[in-house]
Amino acid sequence: MTTETEKKYRDLLTYLRKLKKVAIAFSGGVDSTFLIFAAKQALGENVVAFTVNTPYIPDWEMKDADDLVKQLGIDHKIITNDIPDNIKNNPEDRCYLCKTQIFTLLKSEAMKLDIQYLLEGTNKDDEGGYRPGLRALKELDVVSPLREVGLNKEEIRQLSKKYKLPTWSKPSNACLLTRIPYNTKITPEELSRIEKGEVHLFKMGFAGVRLRSHGDLARIELQQAQFKMIEEDGIREKIAEKLKAVGYKFVCIDLEGYRMGSYDDKLKPKD
């Protein structure tokens, strides 16, 4: 770990101390776990975690988030929210619309606790690509301390490992809506099918996999190192069996492998 990374962590603690008391949007991922750990170090008891439970967040992720907060000894509030009407057809600006609603809700909850600052875990690397959700954060004055001090994903993983956070090597994840093509009607049944399919793949050892759902077709995006795994005896047959059991008729492996936001390939970055 470089001295520059260590300095960024000290800068983060200084930044957080100036806020006095904070609420943090907590998903249980690498970034938000590291942020909430740092906030605990900087502010002690003046930290509360908010996790939003929606139909497009996997059940296993909700459980992981709750377990992590308990381990860190931080007050945790789970807020249940349905799929907003304006994203039920998965529009291209879905992330902006969703984050606008979710963070408006969380800011309201923070105000009830007399907390001025709502924080979230965007890091320096998140500034590139198609990120309409960042616009919502800016409009709502949601604070992104990791990005403010210049911490990138690799540095956050290094620091998380140093401080023995269980998420240091956790694969990146995103909500289940990212598994569905834009302008496609979202149903609870479809979300459940995707979640069950991905859980089967996780249990077979395919960490960080994505199941992109195209009606009757399941398109699997593997990490590059995992392609050799499908050559093992019986693996392809087992994958097909499990995914057909949850409702797919056809199963394929995407030869390009996992790409973050693969449905965004034709979309241009927006301010």
Tens digits of residue pLDDT in 7-49? 999 999 999 999 999 999 999 999 999 999 999 999 999 999 9
Claim to verify: residue 53 and residue 132 sit in the same structural domain:
yes
Residues of the chain with pLDDT under 70: 128-130, 261-262, 264-271
Identify the three-state secondary structure at position 261. Answer: coil
Claim to verify: residue 121 and residue 212 sit in the same structural domain:
no
Claim to verify: residue 21 and residue 155 sit in the same structural domain:
yes
Give the model's pLDDT for residue 171: 87
Residue type, 224: Q
In a domain, 170, yes or no: no
First to last CA, the chain: 33
As given in the structure block, the two tokens for residue 194 are: 């995707």
Name the strand (E) or helix (H) holding 110.
helix 94-112
Partners of 143 in the β-ladder: 119
| Structural domain span for residue 15 | 3-162
CA dihedral 18, 145, 36, 208 (to 10 degrees): 180
Claim to verify: residue 9 and residue 88 sit in the same structural domain:
yes
Domain count, the chain: 2
Claim to verify: residue 28 and residue 129 sit in the same structural domain:
yes
Identify the three-state secondary structure at position 216. Answer: coil
Give the model's pLDDT for residue 269: 46
In a domain, 270, yes or no: no
In a domain, 54, yes or no: yes
Claim to verify: residue 202 and residue 156 sit in the same structural domain:
no
Partners of 213 in the β-ladder: 218
How far are the Cα atoms of 17, 102, 242, 254 from residue 50, in angstroms, in the given order?
Answer: 19, 11, 34, 36
Claim to verify: residue 14 and residue 44 sit in the same structural domain:
yes
Q: Which among 120, 135, 162 is the end of a domain? A: 162
Claim to verify: residue 211 and residue 89 sit in the same structural domain:
no
- The CATH number linked to 137 is 3.40.50.620
In a domain, 93, yes or no: yes
Claim to verify: residue 121 and residue 68 sit in the same structural domain:
yes
Give the model's pLDDT for residue 271: 38
Claim to verify: residue 225 and residue 101 sit in the same structural domain:
no
β-strands 47-53, 250-253 pairing? unpaired
